[in-house]
Structure 1
Amino acid sequence: MKDKMGSATTKTSTSPRFVFSETQKRKVHHLFNVLDIDRNGQLQPNDFVNVGKKIVAQLRLSEESRSARVILLKSHRLFVQLLTDLHNPELSLTLWDWIAFFRDQIESEDEGILDHYIQRTSRHIFDLFDMNKDRLISQEEYANMLTIYNIPQKMAIQGFEELDTNDDKFISADEMVEGLNNFFKSGDPEAKGNLIFGEWR
């Protein structure tokens, strides 16, 4: 194409700086299925509250106890924050909403929203998994937590080993953040952290 002076013009590219790969899409789709506890194709408050109730039962806490109420509140708050991040006024999220959010954030020039989501989600997951509150997650704590999401123990152990990057037999808060960053941001099918929520392939 030429301009009025006869010089060749360059077409401006509108391609995103980062591309939401098929690997990332499959991982995000898998996580949606993990979180959709009742398997009705939508993420709703009950999916998160029921996980909280399972954690309370696993810890043998009375649902009336302060510790149990804190767990249930945090579980519900995670869902509310999801609605806020996705600018969704409804009390449910479809798979399309979920995938579109991560696609848009990964392909955005500004990674701030996704980084904020990862940091906050990492803190929440770490707090729930760290059942004895020693600021470390053991393999047993990790496997026990993933059974609540119906992930087989064998896969839980593989995920734990991927996250434990310094091989000290524990997952630290920093290792959790690193794993979540890889899970959401990496298009590499072999990236450490891909199995954090079980088998996605």
Structure 2
Amino acid sequence: MLTPLQIKKLSHFFNILDFDKNGSIEADDFEAIGENLAIIRDIDLDTPEYEVVMAMTNGIWDKLVPYVENGQGTEQQWLKFMTVLLDPKNLETYKQYLNNFVTTIFKMFDINDDGYISQTEYIDLFIGMRIEVRFAPKAFRNLDTNQDGRLSKEEMIRSVDQFMRSDNPNAAGNWLFGGWEESKI
């Protein structure tokens, strides 16, 4: 069962994934996110790199398909998917999802391939996903728990986990996707 705080944060994430803002998430949203991310990374169409980006975003959609009807996922269906994913009985599946999610973020945004996400690279994530960029510096500061000016995979795993599972309104990971407090449910 999701808590009210989890519902608020996960609804915020749903609104980010609803790229065309039509109230549902569908394959076209994930394709648009992939295209946007390819533009941010300066990846040309019809290249192997472009196909990798599109496969990553389409892969996210493929995991949601069993939970949607008629190719369109409502917010309630998204929350049902997240409820199943976050159920303690599914801990191993969740850990795999968490690891895959963070690995995808690093593949997409660790542009210099140094094993860290810089603030500039993190801002690119916000731009690529059309998240209000004004929240990026505050989000980055919150996620950079050791204050070394970069996000390690361990910091990202902890942050994503806090975003998904924490019921603490002050958890640093709540800022993963920016201004979740202002999100409307």
User: TM-score, normalization: structure 2?
Assistant: 0.88
Q: 1:55 — aligned with what? A: 37
Shift of 1:58: 2.1
SS of the equivalent of 2:57 reads helix
SS of the equivalent of 2:174 reads coil
Q: Is residue 195 of structure 1 aligned with residue 175 of structure 2?
A: yes
User: Is the Cα–Cα contact under 8 Å of residues 126 and 176 in structure 1 kept in the other structure?
Assistant: no
- Residues 132 and 52 from structure 1, CA distance in 2 versus in 1: closer, same or farther, beyond 3 angstroms? farther
Shift of 1:146: 0.4
Shift of 1:90: 4.9
Shift of 1:199: 0.8
Q: 2:104 — aligned with what? A: 124
Shift of 1:162: 1.6
User: Is the Cα–Cα contact under 8 Å of residues 136 and 178 in structure 2 kept in the other structure?
Assistant: yes
Which of 70, 77, 83 is the aligned partner of 1:97? 77
SS of the equivalent of 1:193 reads helix
Q: List runs of 5+ in structure 2 lacking aligned partners.
A: none
Q: 1:172 — aligned with what? A: 152
User: Is the Cα–Cα contact under 8 Å of residues 64 and 81 in structure 2 kept in the other structure?
Assistant: no
SS of the equivalent of 2:113 reads coil
Q: 2:11 — aligned with what? A: 29
Q: Residues 145-160 of structure 1: matches in 2 within 5 Å?
A: 145-160=125-140
Return the alpha-carbon distance in structure 1 between the equivalents of residues 7 and 38 of structure 2.
Answer: 32
User: Is the Cα–Cα contact under 8 Å of residues 36 and 43 in structure 1 kept in the other structure?
Assistant: yes
Shift of 1:104: 3.8
Shift of 1:116: 2.4
Return the alpha-carbon distance in structure 1 between the equivalents of residues 37 and 85 of structure 2.
Answer: 31
Could you give the per-residue CA deviations for residues 147-197 of structure 1, whole angstroms, max 9, x where no partner exists?
222222221111111221111111111111110100011001110110101
Return the alpha-carbon distance in structure 1 between the equivalents of residues 53 and 142 of structure 2.
Answer: 26
SS of the equivalent of 1:41 reads coil
Q: List runs of 5+ in structure 1 lacking aligned partners.
A: 1-18
Return the alpha-carbon distance in structure 1 between the equivalents of residues 81 and 38 of structure 2.
Answer: 30
Give the aligned CA root-mean-square deviation in angstroms.
Answer: 1.9
User: Is the Cα–Cα contact under 8 Å of residues 139 and 169 in structure 1 kept in the other structure?
Assistant: yes
Return the alpha-carbon distance in structure 2 between the equivalents of residues 100 and 69 of structure 1.
Answer: 30
Question: Which protein has the bigger helix share?
Answer: 2
Return the alpha-carbon distance in structure 2 between the equivalents of residues 77 and 40 of structure 1.
Answer: 21
**What amino acid maps onto 1:94 in structure 2?**
T
Whichever of the two has the greater Rg, that structure is: 1
